[in-house]
Structure 1
Amino acid sequence: MTSPLDASGANFPCKGYLSDASGKESVASWSAGSTQTITLEGSAIHNGGSCQLSISEDGGSSWKVIKSFMGNCPASTSGVSMSVTIPSDVKSGDVVFAWTWNNNTGNREMYMNCAIVTIENGGAGLSSYPDMFVAQLSNINSCTVPEGVDVEYPNPGTQVERVEGKLGAPVGDCGSSSGGGGAAPPATTSPPATTAPPATTAPATTPPATTVAPPATTAPSTGACPEGLVRCDSESSWSMCGSGYWQSMGAVPGGMVCRDGAIVAARKRALQSHRRNWNSRAL
Structure 2
Amino acid sequence: MPRSALIASCVSALAVAHMILRDPVPYGLSTLNNSPLDGSGLDFPCKQRQGVYALEGASNVYALGSTNLLKFRGQTVHGGGSCQVSITYDAEPGSRSVWRVIKSIEGGCPAQGQVGNMGDNIEAEDPYEYNFTIPTDIPNGTATIAWTWFNKVGNREMYMNCGPITLTGEGGDVSNFNALPNIFLAHIGNGCGVAQGYDVAFPDPGKDVERLNGATTSFIGPTGMCGSTAASVLSSTATTNHTQVESSGIARITSSASIIVRTSTISVVPLLSISSSSAGTLCTPEGDWRCVNGSSYQRCASGSWSAIQRLPVGVSCRPGQSSMFDMVEST
User: One fold, TM greater than 0.5?
Assistant: yes
Q: Does the C-alpha gap of structure 1 residues 69 and 160 become closer, same or farther in structure 2, counting only changes over 3 Å?
A: same
Aligned residue number for residue 32 of structure 1: 64
- Identify which of 135, 147, 159 aligns with 2:208: 159
Q: Runs of 4 or more off by more than 2 Å in structure 1? A: 17-26, 175-179
The answer on 1:170 being equivalent to 2:222 is: yes
The structural deviation recorded for 1:10 is 0.3
Q: Does the C-alpha gap of structure 1 residues 158 and 18 become closer, same or farther in structure 2, counting only changes over 3 Å?
A: farther
The answer on 1:50 being equivalent to 2:87 is: no
| Distance of 1:174 and 1:5 partners within structure 2 | 17
Identity %: 42
Aligned residue number for residue 134 of structure 1: 185
The structural deviation recorded for 1:103 is 0.4
| Distance of 1:21 and 1:136 partners within structure 2 | 23
Partner AA of 1:97 in structure 2: I
SS in 1 for 2:128: strand
The answer on 1:89 being equivalent to 2:89 is: no
Partner AA of 2:132 in structure 1: V
- Kept in 1, the 8 Å contact 2:70–2:129? The answer is yes
Aligned residue number for residue 143 of structure 1: 192
Report how many aligned residue pairs link the two structures. Answer: 177
- Identify which of 12, 15, 25 aligns with 2:44: 12
The structural deviation recorded for 1:18 is 9.2
Aligned residue number for residue 63 of structure 1: 99
| Distance of 1:17 and 1:33 partners within structure 2 | 33
CA deviation profile, 1:157-189 (whole Å, cap 9, x unmatched) = 00000135110011001125559xxxxxxxxxx
- Kept in 2, the 8 Å contact 1:26–1:118? The answer is no
Q: Does the C-alpha gap of structure 1 residues 168 and 32 become closer, same or farther in structure 2, counting only changes over 3 Å?
A: same
Indicate the structure whose relative CO is greater, using CA pairs within 8 Å and at least 6 residues apart: 1
| Distance of 1:97 and 1:16 partners within structure 2 | 15
Q: Does the C-alpha gap of structure 1 residues 12 and 32 become closer, same or farther in structure 2, counting only changes over 3 Å?
A: same
- Identify which of 47, 69, 74 aligns with 2:110: 74
| Distance of 2:164 and 2:183 partners within structure 1 | 17
| Distance of 1:142 and 1:18 partners within structure 2 | 27
Q: Does the C-alpha gap of structure 1 residues 106 and 20 become closer, same or farther in structure 2, counting only changes over 3 Å?
A: closer
Aligned residue number for residue 164 of structure 2: 116
Partner AA of 1:81 in structure 2: E
The structural deviation recorded for 1:109 is 0.8
Q: Does the C-alpha gap of structure 1 residues 116 and 7 become closer, same or farther in structure 2, counting only changes over 3 Å?
A: same
| Distance of 1:24 and 1:142 partners within structure 2 | 35
| Distance of 1:146 and 1:54 partners within structure 2 | 22
| Alignment RMSD (CA, Å) | 2.1
Aligned residue number for residue 206 of structure 1: none
The structural deviation recorded for 1:24 is 7.0
Q: TM-score, normalised by structure 2?
A: 0.50
Where in structure 2 are there 5+ consecutive unaligned residues?
A: 1-32, 113-117, 119-125, 232-331
Partner AA of 1:151 in structure 2: V
The structural deviation recorded for 1:58 is 2.9
| Distance of 1:168 and 1:124 partners within structure 2 | 34
- Kept in 2, the 8 Å contact 1:65–1:132? The answer is yes
Q: Does the C-alpha gap of structure 1 residues 40 and 87 become closer, same or farther in structure 2, counting only changes over 3 Å?
A: same
Where in structure 1 are there 5+ consecutive unaligned residues?
A: 180-283
Q: Does the C-alpha gap of structure 1 residues 93 and 25 become closer, same or farther in structure 2, counting only changes over 3 Å?
A: farther
Q: Does the C-alpha gap of structure 1 residues 107 and 166 become closer, same or farther in structure 2, counting only changes over 3 Å?
A: same
| Distance of 1:177 and 1:21 partners within structure 2 | 24
